[in-house]
Structure 1
Amino acid sequence: MSDTVSISLTINGAEHALTLSPERTLLDVLREDVRATGTRRGCDEGSCGACTVLVEGVPVLSCLSLAVTLPGRAITTIEGVRNGPELHPVQQALVRHGAVQCGFCMSGIVLAAKALLEQNPSPSVDEVRQALGSNVCRCSGYTRVVEAIASVGGRP
């Protein structure tokens, strides 16, 4: 029996042929094999949200996801949200509202917010707070972050 598996992952629209140990997390594969280092390693136990990526548009904690379970599914990291040189509207709003401090948690927050806005283009402040419930930010009180995300959806 082999201790590695050959798979192909679609990350930010690009195919990556990989040979992996079955126990490798998506976080490890993204950071070490694909070099998508914008996906942050925080707690390694699924409680901080820093490692959030989108799988088929749904926020997923990459530290808890085995890479071998994801072939054929579209994976989006923070590196995949820009449109050419333009920041994603969520990123623009976070900058405009002065919501970015150290930035460590921001990739997970941006991806969680992107998923929310794709499902609900005009979320309430409470809906934004709920969508960010799995993301821990140790620098902010979340007020500017929530305001910024709500503003993308047309709410003040």
Structure 2
Amino acid sequence: MKHDLHINGAKHHVDADPAMPLLWVLRDKLALTGTKFGCGMAQCGACTVHLNGGATRACVMPVEAAAGQKVATIEGVAADTDKVAQAVLAAWVQHDVAQCGYCQGGQVMTAVAFLKNLPRSKRPSAEEIDAAMSGNLCRCGAYARIRAAVADAARALG
């Protein structure tokens, strides 16, 4: 079945089973491999994408549910000139967050969605950042650097 998808600002017509997870459409049919497979149960956050601006797990989202919605992947956010995306990416580099890097696409996507939905003048507490990022696991344990990067990105935007 054909699905009309709007991904990273471009339209795609994809032939896939309606129940196929968006993750596999992105990776296998569109070669957008920045979105990673982690657990397949929406528990680790490696597959996080934006659906209409909100952080969403692509591993459990059927492609038919994404049809007609605006989807952004880490490739789209990395190329985005949006101030929030750029602030998060700059803070990630400044704090040398990535170790193995496997979870980082999902971490960045969650951080960008969190900060985009935060009032500009709001400086999130460490507890608020931890709560926002709690659905993203990092096997390397870079949580302190992730928290510092999100806090610095929020300050840069404020």
Structure 2: runs of 5 or more not aligned = none
Q: Aligned-pair distance for 1:99? A: 1.4
Q: Aligned-pair distance for 1:84? A: 6.3
**Given the alignment, which residue of 98, 101, 104 partners 1:100?**
98
Fraction of identical pairs, as percent: 37
| Residue equivalent to 2:128 | 127
**Alpha carbons of structure 1 residues 29 and 47: separation in structure 2 relative to 1, 3 Å:** same
| Residue equivalent to 2:141 | 140
User: Pairwise mapping of residues 1-156 of structure 1 onto structure 2 (< 5 A)?
Assistant: 5-83=1-79, 88-120=86-118, 121=120, 122-154=123-155
Q: TM-score, normalised by structure 1?
A: 0.90
RMSD: 1.8
Larger proportion of helix: 2
Separation of aligned partners in 2, 1:102 and 1:88:
21
- Aligned partner of residue 54 in structure 1, secondary structure: strand
Tell me which stretches of 4 or more aligned residues in structure 1 moved more than 6 Å: 84-87
Separation of aligned partners in 1, 2:73 and 2:86:
12
Separation of aligned partners in 2, 1:113 and 1:10:
22
Residue identity opposite 2:129 in structure 1: V
Separation of aligned partners in 2, 1:118 and 1:146:
16
Q: Aligned-pair distance for 1:85? A: 8.9
| Cα-to-partner distance string for 1:88-141 (whole Å, 9 max, x where unaligned) | 221210110121111100000000000011011432221111111110001024
- Aligned partner of residue 59 in structure 2, secondary structure: helix
Q: TM-score, normalised by structure 2?
A: 0.89
Structure 1: runs of 5 or more not aligned = none
Aligned residues: 151
- Aligned partner of residue 16 in structure 1, secondary structure: strand
Q: Aligned-pair distance for 1:81? A: 0.8
**Alpha carbons of structure 1 residues 84 and 9: separation in structure 2 relative to 1, 3 Å:** closer
